[in-house]
């Protein structure tokens, strides 16, 4: 009896063990089959990497300044067009410091950006940075201010037609003065765009023999400096009757000095940019008129030229943007 029970328990155990083994085998095969199926499906990483679009093109931008309304608008134009093409902009500002700008260009090279846009602080010294970018195989574009250095290659320069603008400024000032009087120029000779404005201004003003340029001084394109320079000019040239300011910050700084001296009726001012603040002064008669620039368009055209270059096309070496004039009557 005992042996029979033991024998039955043994047979039961053997039968149970076999069933367990079969069950385990089924489970293992099911697991392997499932695992095999999972390995044949996308993991969500490898195929995604293979199908991913190329990274967004990165464009380094070094602006002359962001203190002027012109450059704020230029920056907006750059960003608008970059967004349209899906480009990433790395925007810096040199704030009139050539050394700082050189460091920014070096940093763009280290970051291996796909293109560089420069608004030079100094049109001659900027050449060294352009050469370094050339050596790194990074295309360089200039906006608003050109490079006048013999060093380095710029793909395209995009800017206002500044000689045309200078001629228009001369016409405005001659009109304001009745084609006679003594005038001064508040300049910024370190930058090419201003050199062109002044050249155009002098070229056109030569057609008015009764207008004499008695002084040409640099105010660095800055409002506070322009106010100080104008104060000195009013002391040395009491009979001054007109002023050409190479940008609106210069015009507005000079205006402050003229108003403080009580000579608003004596001196006619012509500026350059036609920012909203300057337009308001023109509407009140404090400034006679301005040359109109289109900084947003310059920004958009700059990115457009870069886009063409990325596509293997050859954009023109220079893309000029026409200017206009703004007076109390036209406003």
pLDDT tens, residue by residue, 139-165 = 999 999 999 999 999 999 999 999 999
- Asked if the domains 58-158+295-320 and 162-292 are classified in one and the same CATH topology, the answer is yes
Which residues pair with residue 326 across a beta bridge?
A: 290
Closest CA to 177 of 229, 240, 254: 240
Please name the CATH architecture into which domain 58-158+295-320 falls: 3-Layer(aba) Sandwich (3.40)
Q: What is the torsional sign of CA 266, 270, 274, 275?
A: negative
Fold that domain 162-292 belongs to in CATH: Rossmann fold (3.40.50)
Q: In what order do the strands lie in the sheet with 156-160?
A: 88-93, 58-63, 115-118, 140-143, 156-160, 318-321
Cα 286 to Cα 178, 216, 263, 275: the distances in Å are 17, 22, 11, 14
Per domain, the residue ranges of the chain are 58-158+295-320, 162-292
pLDDT one digit per residue (tens) for the chain, 331 residues: 333 333 333 333 333 343 334 434 434 334 333 344 333 333 343 334 334 346 899 999 999 999 999 999 999 999 999 999 999 999 999 999 999 999 999 999 999 999 999 999 999 999 999 999 999 999 999 999 999 999 999 999 999 999 999 999 999 999 999 999 999 999 999 999 999 999 999 999 999 999 999 999 999 999 999 999 999 999 999 999 999 999 999 999 999 999 999 999 999 999 999 999 999 999 999 999 999 999 999 999 999 999 999 999 999 999 999 999 999 998 6
- pTM, full prediction: 0.81
Structure confidence by residue, pLDDT tens digits, 309-327: 999 999 999 999 999 999 9
Residues in a beta bridge with 63 = 93
Strand ranges for the chain from DSSP E? 58-63, 88-93, 115-118, 140-143, 156-160, 181-187, 211-218, 242-245, 268-273, 289-292, 318-321, 324-327
* Nearest Cα to Cα of residue 88 among 113, 117, 63, 71: 113
Distance CA 171, CA 1 (A): 131
């Amino acid at each position: 009896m005992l042996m029979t029970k033991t024998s039955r328990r043994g047979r039961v155990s053997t039968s149970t063990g076999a069933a367990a083994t079969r069950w385990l085998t089924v489970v293992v095969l099911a697991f392997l089959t499932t695992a095999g199926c999972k390995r044949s499906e996308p993991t969500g990483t490898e195929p995604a990497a293979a199908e991913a679009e190329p990274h967004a093109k990165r464009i380094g931008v070094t602006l002359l300044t962001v203190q002027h309304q012109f450059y704020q608008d230029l920056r907006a134009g750059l960003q608008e067009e970059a967004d349209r093409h899906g480009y990433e902009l790395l925007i810096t500002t040199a704030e009139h410091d050539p050394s700082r700008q050189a460091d920014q260009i070096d940093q763009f090279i280290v970051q291996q950006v796909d293109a560089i846009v420069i608004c030079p602080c100094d049109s001659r010294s900027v050449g060294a940075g352009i050469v370094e970018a050339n050596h790194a195989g990074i295309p360089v574009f200039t906006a608003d201010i050109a490079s006048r250095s013999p060093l380095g290659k710029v793909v395209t320069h995009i800017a206002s037609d500044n000689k045309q603008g200078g001629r228009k400024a001369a016409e405005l000032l001659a009109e304001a003065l009745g084609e006679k009087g003594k005038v001064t120029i508040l300049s910024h000779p370190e930058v090419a765009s201003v050199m062109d404005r002044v050249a155009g201004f002098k070229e056109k003003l030569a057609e008015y023999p009764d207008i004499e340029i008695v002084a040409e001084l640099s105010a660095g394109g800055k409002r506070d400096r322009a106010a100080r320079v104008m104060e000195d000019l009013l002391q040395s040239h009491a009979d001054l009757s007109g002023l050409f300011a190479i940008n609106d910050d210069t015009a507005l700084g000079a205006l402050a000095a003229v108003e403080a001296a009580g000579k608003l009726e004596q001196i006619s001012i012509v500026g350059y940019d036609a920012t909203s603040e300057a337009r308001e002064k023109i509407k009140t008669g404090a400034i006679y008129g301005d040359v109109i620039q289109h900084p947003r368009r310059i920004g958009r055209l700059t990115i457009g030229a870069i886009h063409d270059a990325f596509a293997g096309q050859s954009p023109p070496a220079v893309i000029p943007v026409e200017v206009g004039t703004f007076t109390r009557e036209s406003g």
